[in-house]
Amino acid sequence: MKVAVVHDIPLDEERKEMIDAVVRALKSSHQVDPLPFDESFMLKVKHYDVVFNLSSSAKQVHVPALLELLNVPYTGSDPLGHALCIDKSVTKTILKHHGIPTPQFITAKPNEKVPEIDFYPAIVKPSREGSAKGLSRDSVVHDYDSLMRAVKRVWNEFSQPALIDEFIDGREFSVGIVDNNVLPILEIDFSSLPEGLERFYSYRVKHNYSEQTRYVCPAQIPHDLENKIKRYALSAFKALNLRNYARMDLRIRGKEIFFLEVNSLPLLVPEYSDITKMAKAANWSYEELVTKILNTALKF
């Protein structure tokens, strides 16, 4: 088959590595080309049998929307699924409606009065970013003054609503789904980070301290908790209209589970990305992971 691996331009190092790896993984069975998402995309993509969609942020909606129009099958979720996950406040509203636990929250829209809250400490994040963008030590706030400052930083830097979430002080996990299979759960353990660093994925922890962060997969948690997380993850997948694959971040405080956010198009960088760590724990090679994703896409 002719497979187009669609990506945004420009590509950063991480994404370039991912595109190369996906192309390599599929090459033994298919004719595969990387295809940038630019003005000539609609004309070029018609010559392919299927698209591996690796575009990012807002474009993860645009690419499938155009492919629906052209009737070209593609990996990952459809436009609605991605749209519901791009904005964390929207995602959380749907999770809550379906009884999937998520930290209590409120959304602060630019230039409106910053709301008072009664759930300190809270964490303030841009509602529509990813990769820990906009997250620093100052994102965790203990009073109204620092809350106001954090919200205004989000407005100024990202021109979008700020999500104010109850800060869950606890263990952090990630759960991945491929084809309705929940992969082994991954724990992200921040306890061995140098003194003084945040015990959460702030921008600097995520991007500069991955070597000192401990990844444990499968996570060491009691069976009942593991099953509960898996059940919630599958209901979230369904509630958010997702298909093919996705990854969700969560925290646990005591026995309480809190889903933080859902990534409808998680990165697939070999070794580095969470979902590839989970696949490895399930004894899938990178090639198997990528092939499974592609093969399911052909059945939609």
Ligand X SMILES: Nc1ncnc2c1ncn2[C@@H]1O[C@H](COP(=O)(O)OP(=O)(O)O)[C@@H](O)[C@H]1O
The binding site for ligand X (CB under 6 A) comprises: 88, 103, 123, 125, 129-133, 135, 165-168, 172, 200-201, 249, 251, 260-261
Partner in contact with 247, chosen from Mg ion, ligand X, none, beta carbon below 5 to 8 Å by kind: none
The residue (of 41 and 161) whose beta carbon lies closer to ligand X is 161
- Residue 87 exposed, middle or buried by CB count within 10 Å (0-12, 13-18, 19+): middle
Closest CA to 6 of 42, 150, 83: 42
Half-sphere exposure of 61 (CA within 13 A, CB side): 11
- The tokens describing 117, both together, are 């809250």
- Of 249, 251, 259, 262, the residue at the interface with Mg ion (CB under 5 A) is 249
The residue (of 73 and 120) whose beta carbon lies closer to ligand X is 120
Partner in contact with 132, chosen from Mg ion, ligand X, none, beta carbon below 5 to 8 Å by kind: ligand X
CA distance 197 to 140: 13
The CA angle 278-282-283, to the nearest 5 degrees, is 115
Cα distances (angstroms) measured from residue 82 to each of 20, 72, 91, 250: 24, 17, 10, 19
The residue (of 74 and 200) whose beta carbon lies closer to Mg ion is 200
Count of residues of this chain found to bind Mg ion when the rule CB under 5 A is applied: 1
Question: Does 166 participate in binding Mg ion (rule CB under 5 A)?
Answer: no
Partner in contact with 167, chosen from Mg ion, ligand X, none, beta carbon below 5 to 8 Å by kind: ligand X
For the bound state, the minimum distance from the C-beta of residue 18 to ligand X, rounded and expressed in Å, comes to 17
The residue (of 166 and 249) whose beta carbon lies closer to Mg ion is 249
Three-class secondary structure of residue 79 per DSSP: helix
Closest residue to ligand X using C-beta atoms: 200
The residue (of 201 and 284) whose beta carbon lies closer to ligand X is 201
